[in-house]
Copies of this chain bind each other. A is one copy, B any other.
Amino acid sequence: MAEKQYLLTPGPTPVPPQVLAALAEPVIHHRARDYRAVYERCLARLAEVYRTRHDVLMYTTSGTGAFESAVANLTSPGDRQLVLSAGNFGERWAGMARAFGADLVHVKLEWGETPEPDDLRAALADAGDVRVVYLTHSETSTGVVCDVQALAAVAKEAGALVVVDAVSSLGAVPLETDAWELDVVVSGSQKALMTPPGVAFVAVSPAALEAAARSTSPRYTLDWERTRKAQAKLDAPFTPAVSIVRALDVALGLLLEEGLEGAFDRHARLGRACREGAKAMGLELFSPDEERSAVVTALRAPDGVDATEVVSTLRDRFGITIANGQGDLKGKIFRIGHIGWFDVFDITTALAAVELALVDAGAEIERGVAVTRALDAWAEHSRV
């Protein structure tokens, strides 16, 4: 039989067939009328998902590229900036700010910790005049989703601009760009937005645009002002990935049809189902056992079991792709993504396969309970 494949990683994520069909449509020119209609609708839908009245700038790049636009547009060499990290992506932003010559304060928590407002408040008090604070809403490497609203409030109090990595959180967990006064919010097509990778976005506040006008780092394709001016005329300064934008438009339509609150609720329930199922078979959670852990569930490999082997077994025996740990956590944890086009049967598939792989690996786990517990947790009273 042709192998059935299951993409259960926290990005790229599975893409609905309607979105794949849009990708296969003949290519259109990015300055033609048909594209402009798609582009306009797509930008409007993005603003709705971001919950912002301001510009959402679109780039043909990865999520990291869009984040780089924030660093490039907000940094002059020597600027005092602060990164609060607790995992791989947060640390990447620190490396990037340093590459652009920022005078960086890096508050580097252990991987898996949840950054708390007090951590940030203390660090800002020590650091003096910090202009930009970089936060990671959902740290995909650990499964931690922080209270970005509270953290942003602390940063704003200190007079800093707030840049948020929402690559894996936008569309999955609540995020209010304007209401929470987030200056810059970065995301990408390939997570909860159910589209292949290739297009990424940056919501920019007027204050962020003003700061960008003063910053001296060289940049061209990622320059915000150039993109903003072009978008205002429904133009793009450089040939965009038209096929992916068209697919994104369809995917955003699906998301908004479900409704953002509905999507947030579904993701919270998916996370709960995954955690409850995993705990039922005796696995230890690495990501926190709380409502916000709705993006990716990170599980510790049982004693004596290598997570790398679990990941390989799932791939080789069942056609299922889940994610290994990153950095020092490689081999120690494995991660089941549930962002975007996921329902509870993706969770039960993942749990059933993990159960089989762990039995094979000789782990002492409880058989035959995870799937039922996950289904029960899914069915329990929902959050909204």
Contact = CB atoms under 8 A, between A and B. Distances in A.
8 contacts: A32-B321, A60-B61, A64-B239, A68-B220, A71-B220, A99-B220, A100-B220, A196-B242
A117 interface: no
Given A60-B62, A68-B221, A218-B99, A7 B29 contact: yes
Chain B CB within 10 A, most for which of A20, A27, A95: A27
B60 A198 contact: yes
A304 interface: no
Interface stretch (A8-16, A36-44, A344-352): A8-16
A302 interface: no
Contacts of A14: 26-27
User: Chain A's interface: helix, strand, loop or mixed, by majority?
Assistant: loop
B12 A29 contact: yes
Contact of A15 (B26, B33, B95): B26
A86 B220 CA distance: 21
Copy total for this chain: 2
State which size class the interface on A falls in: 35 or more
A60 B64 CA distance: 11
A240 interface: yes
Interface string A235-247: 0011111111000
Contact of A218 (B5, B65, B218): B218
Contacts of A32: 315, 321
B65 A61 contact: yes
A123 interface: no
B62 A239 contact: yes
A29 B99 contact: no
A88 interface: no
Contacts of A20: 23-26
